Chain A
């Protein structure tokens, strides 16, 4: 059984193992014990604080395979991005250059460095081991955190963004980086990514061009990957698209991948989630898949279950499932239907 929970400091060796397995270009986690420990400590601190607004908290979720006790994946939510250091993206803009006299009308696609997404909650750090990349695993890792956000809206921002990995190859070369960032920062994309994940991306971003970039002046290879998703990130991107994220407005300043955004409460999982009171009893065999989560903070649990449940009624869970979700009778859980 796969269950999602928030990380503990004792997860460090397992998370380090995951970080080492993340393919180049995905940029999900630093492969660095010290940095990982800092992230886990930040996550720990985020859980216990009595929080009434979004700040620099970072919630680090892990997927645990309860059969083996090993971790299968991880994902994060940063409560408010750009809180401690600026958050940079390129905004897609369209300029029309027209001359009535000459009968010319020319649309120019321009990328402008901006901080528009400052203050958004940011979904990041998605990684799932290949063996677990089935429908339940993907749904749990991508959407379980949205149930957490739905239950604790005061901890998150009104808008949520996601940086989706852009195109890069196995050698760690990214066409967008080669055409843009590299001119301002003479290192390979893989090296830039390493610096970005270990020291923070804003120190690199500050070296990036401040004036808009006219896209037609970039190499064809770079133009083709603007807004394109890394093949390894395609399935999580598709899941996010079902949540109603908007894709066309922003791209990542390093690899040109899409940076998508939406109103938090309009995300399908958040908006469509329902609550139910728990009853302990006999679970009937069923085919409906539900993402179910408790409403705790540090003891947050979420899992994908087969249930026969009618909205409005109590949710009947057997004792092992209730233990898995860390709930008892009369607790309230949050559910979202998986299709």
Chain B
């Protein structure tokens, strides 16, 4: 398995992926025109030829046969051209000592607080490849890339997780809130945002804070939760230290996770090491390894062993990276060896 930068020539494979992904993967719309424009911008971004405000990175996961089986991406700096909306879950307290009353009322505030953050997006993995280490590779490869090119990214990294919806694409949060303001179903609103149509959010959404008590029970339950299909993706970014701090998606109520970029485990613990070809050993840990390339970036996860400033990998791994022994690479353990969390996908 190999992670590399997406190219305009990937369009056919990506359209096929997007068609299968359905609602929820809003940043990879199944529209050829729009996807092609995105890929052209992605190519320019990898070349370092666009402002951070416009930069958009998309990575491709290839299987060993060279087929596209997954994607991941990030926006260099979200909300610098159009507003980036979130709801912040705040609190309103109604209390009177005289009347012996104390009530906490969760309250949704429409904000642009996350403006400027680097926003992870476009995570998708073909069903038959949904295994923990493959999912970690395609998701975390982004962090290694950010570590290498830190100046191209923001001090805060966020990810909007897909919120709850049923098999028919109905979101309880949307039905109780957005639907009143948009008079359209969730799938269409989601499609419109995917098409880059964001101005309508400001035009149609409520301008004042909303008391959660006016939402349906199902909508309240969906606040800060994620879609079952996104549980694995959530576990992976949680392994890296990203946390839910009360920001949710304005459409489906899904959790937004965040972390200071410098505190993401795979970024802070990654090291530049000299590649050595050898025998990593039977008990070697899986490492995430980056050839340090930008447009020609190649990232893999492979068993490796650190020894005196070198990273010892098997010959096949070096070949996958397209590197010879003695070349510097950036590497980090695929996950924290001491982490006791549940694996993203059950084995």
Name A residues whose Cβ lies closer than 8 Å to a Cβ of B: 95, 97-99, 101-102, 104, 106, 108, 110, 179, 183-186, 195, 199, 203-204, 206-214, 216-218
Contacts and interface: CB of A to CB of B under 8 A. Distances in A.
B102 to A, nearest CB: 9
Contacts of A95: 207
A101 B197 contact: yes
Interface stretch (B120-128, B173-181, B238-246): B173-181
Contacts of A185: 94, 99, 101, 103
A207 B92 contact: no
A218 B214 contact: yes
Given A99-B199, A99-B203, A217 B177 contact: yes
Contacts of B181: 97, 106, 108
A106 B211 contact: no
Interface in B93-137: 94-96, 98-99, 101, 103, 105, 107
A184 B213 CA distance: 9
Nearest to B183: A106
B103 A183 contact: yes
B149 interface: no
Contacts of A216: 180
A217 B183 contact: no
Contacts of A203: 96, 98-99
Given A195-B99, A204-B99, A217-B215, A99 B105 contact: no
Nearest to A208: B94
A26 to B, nearest CB: 22
Interface residues of B, number: 33
B204 interface: yes
Given A106-B181, A185-B103, A214 B213 contact: no
A186 B206 CA distance: 26
A184 B99 contact: no
Contacts of B215: 217
Q: Which 7 A-B pairs have the closest CB atoms?
A: A183-B213, A207-B94, A99-B203, A216-B180, A99-B200, A217-B214, A184-B94
Given A97-B203, A102-B200, A185-B94, A217 B180 contact: yes
Contacts of B200: 99, 101-102, 104
A213 B206 contact: no
Contacts of B95: 207
A80 to B, nearest CB: 25
Nearest to A222: B214
B176 A102 contact: no
B22 interface: no
A97 B105 contact: no
A214 B192 CA distance: 24
A285 B112 CA distance: 78
Interface string B63-106: 00000000000000000000000000000101110110101010
Contacts of A209: 92, 105, 211
A216 B182 CA distance: 12
12 contacts: A97-B181, A101-B197, A102-B192, A106-B181, A183-B211, A185-B99, A185-B101, A199-B99, A203-B99, A207-B101, A207-B103, A217-B210
Contacts of A101: 197, 199-200
Contacts of A210: 92
B214 A186 contact: no
A126 to B, nearest CB: 27
Contacts of A195: 99
A104 B105 contact: no
B278 interface: no
Contact of B105 (A183, A204, A206, A217): A183
A93 B270 CA distance: 56
Interface string B182-214: 111000000010000101100111111111011
Contacts of B197: 101-102
B92 A106 contact: no
Contacts of B206: 108, 214
Contacts of B183: 104, 106
A111 B231 CA distance: 39
A210 B208 CA distance: 10
B111 to A, nearest CB: 14
Contacts of A218: 214
B23 to A, nearest CB: 18
Contacts of B214: 179, 183, 213-214, 217-218
A138 B336 CA distance: 81
Interface in B210-233: 210-211, 213-215
Contacts of A212: 208
B177 to A, nearest CB: 7
Given A207-B96, A214-B210, A217-B214, A184 B177 contact: no
Contacts of B99: 185, 195, 199, 203-204, 207
A209 B208 CA distance: 12
A275 to B, nearest CB: 48
A271 B280 CA distance: 100
A216 B177 CA distance: 9
Given A97-B204, A207-B99, A213-B214, 18 more contacts: A95-B207, A97-B203, A99-B200, A104-B184, A106-B182, A110-B208, A183-B214, A184-B94, A185-B94, A185-B99, A186-B101, A186-B103, A203-B98, A206-B96, A207-B101, A207-B103, A209-B105, A214-B208
Interface string B13-44: 00000000000000000000000000000000
B186 to A, nearest CB: 15
B103 A104 contact: no
A217 B103 CA distance: 20
Nearest to B213: A183
Contacts of B211: 183, 209, 211, 213
Nearest to A214: B206
A191 B181 CA distance: 34
B94 A106 contact: no
Contacts of A179: 214
B193 to A, nearest CB: 12
Nearest to B205: A97
Contact of A99 (B101, B204, B207, B208): B204
